Each structure stands twice: as C-alpha cells, then as structure tokens.
Amino acid sequence: MRAWVCGMVGAAAAVAGCSGPPAPDVLICRDVVHRLCLEPLCAQVTFRLGVGDSCESALEQRTGCAADDFTFTAPPRERVLECRLPLLRAGIDPDQHPDCADVGETLDLCTDVAQWLGASP
C-alpha cells in the first residue's frame, strides 16, 4: 500500500512539475548532487558517500555529471528520477535542504543510485 501511495504522490508531483521539454540528464544529475550536498551535510552523505567540504565537486566527478555532455547509462534516468523524489519532499526549490530522513531513504532504498554516487555496496 505504501508503495502505491508513494507512486501516486510521485506521479502527481511529476505531472504538476512538468512544463516544457524534459531536463537534460546533466541537469538532473547535478540537481541530485546539489540537493545531497546542501549545507549542513546530512550524516548519511558524510558517512555513506565519504564526502566533506568538496561534496558537490566530488560527487559530480564520481558520477560523471561534471561533464556537460553527461547522459545516464547505469542507473538509468528513470531510476534516478524515481530515487530523487524523496529529496523533493521538502520543496522543489533547488536550494531547499531536504530532510535528512529523506536523504537516508534515498540512499537506503536506492542502493544502485547510492553506489553510483560512491557508496560502498
């Protein structure tokens, strides 16, 4: 039931947020990294991803989205978008710090995305 509710909420958020062409992969990647790296860093980011003051540049290098021609391969774009939803619960403003529980949910439930970001398997 929880998955269904989350799916419906996510679908509603996706529909409400859609206007114009889809964002390029590089911008989606950089948005995920930016949200994870907003100060103060959540403990999950510090410990699971092993980053500190240079969080954004470190994660952009690890994921490949430091390059302007970045495109998703593994994990696929749809998976990253799905796993990004908890990071948007606090608000869609790019500078709105996600709740650390939502950051934890993203890293715990999306192990493939967490590993792509540099977490240990």
Taking the complete model, does pTM exceed 0.85, yes or no?
A: no
Q: Look at residues 75, 83, 87, 80 and name the one whose alpha carbon lies nearest to residue 42.
A: 87
- Asked if 65 contacts 33 with a C-beta cutoff of 8 angstroms, the reply is yes
Q: What confidence category does residue 17 fall into, taking pLDDT thresholds of 50, 70 and 90? A: low
pLDDT digits (tens, 9 = 90+) for 40-88: 999 999 999 999 899 999 999 999 999 999 999 999 999 999 999 999 9
Backbone region of residue 64 per phi and psi (left: phi > 0; alpha: psi in -120 to 50; beta: other values): left
- Asked if 102 contacts 87 with a C-beta cutoff of 8 angstroms, the reply is yes
Domain spans of the chain? 23-116
Tokens of 84: 């990004």
